[in-house]
Each structure stands twice: as structure tokens, then as C-alpha cells.
Amino acid sequence: MILPLAKLGTLTLKMMAKPVAIRLKTEASRHPKFRQFIINLAQANHRISTNIQRRLYGHSTQVEIRPLNEEKAVQDAADLIGELFVFSVAGAVVVFEVQRSARSENRKEEARKKEVEVKIWQTQESSLHRNMVNQSQLNWGILS
């Protein structure tokens, strides 16, 4: 039951990320400062990922990495921000579920504590009642 819901949730998040990426591209074409910001973000991401790949394959990282052209950088930045959006929402869902589970567990623990307290109280009351009955029977001479 959980797996189909997880897949459905993932699909929904991906569908939500596409309009975000499209909106980013639109905003990048309108605002030069925002465009430059996301281009710089994409170039930094490109340099980092290229260096990581070169290290993994055992190649030198002391080479000059060619920058992406502007349109490719805008596209990559929009994709990156869209993916960050998806992971942020997924992370928030995980945090929400953990907190909800913890609250539920706390409520169950409180209910168990109350139940134990009631049983202790009932046991003490029953014991007190028995002692009183025994004492009154002793006083009346019923028990010898």
C-alpha cells in the first residue's frame, strides 16, 4: 500500500517541479540579474560535477573546464532548481511524517501511563477496601 502511494507522490512532485522550472526560465529571460545568478549557479554546478567526475575516473583536475553556453546554463540551472524543489518537498514530507509519528507515539505512551495509573489506583483501593472489611469483621468477631 505504501509503495504505490510513494510512487504517486513522487510523480506528483515531479509534475509540480516542471512548472517551477518553466517559470524560472521565463523569469531568467525577463530579469538580467536573476539570469546572471542562475547562470553562475549552473556554471558552479558544472565545475563541481566535472571535477568530481574527473577525480572518480582518475584524471587530472588541474585542467581548465570550459563554461557552458548561456542557454545551456539557464536550462541546467532551471533543472537543478526544479530538482532541489522536489527534494525539498520530499524532505519536508519526511520530517512531517517523523514528527506525526512521534506525536502519535507520545499519545499512545500517555494513554498507557494513564492506564497503569488507573490500575494501580484500583489495586490500592481494592486492597484498602479488603483491609477495611477484614478489620470490621475482626471488630465484629466474624473472623477469629
Cβ–Cβ < 8 Å for 68, 45: no
Residue 144: predicted pLDDT: 52
Residue 112: predicted pLDDT: 92
C-alpha span between 50 and 48 (Å, rounded): 5
Per-residue pLDDT of the chain (144 residues; tens, 9 = 90+): 566 776 777 778 777 777 877 777 777 777 888 889 988 999 999 999 999 998 888 887 788 888 889 889 888 888 787 778 778 877 887 788 888 888 889 999 999 999 999 888 988 888 888 888 777 777 776 655
1-32: burial string, b at 16+ Cβ within 10 Å, e else: eeeeeeeeeeeebeeebeeebeebbeebeeee
Residue 113: predicted pLDDT: 92
DSSP for residue 58: T
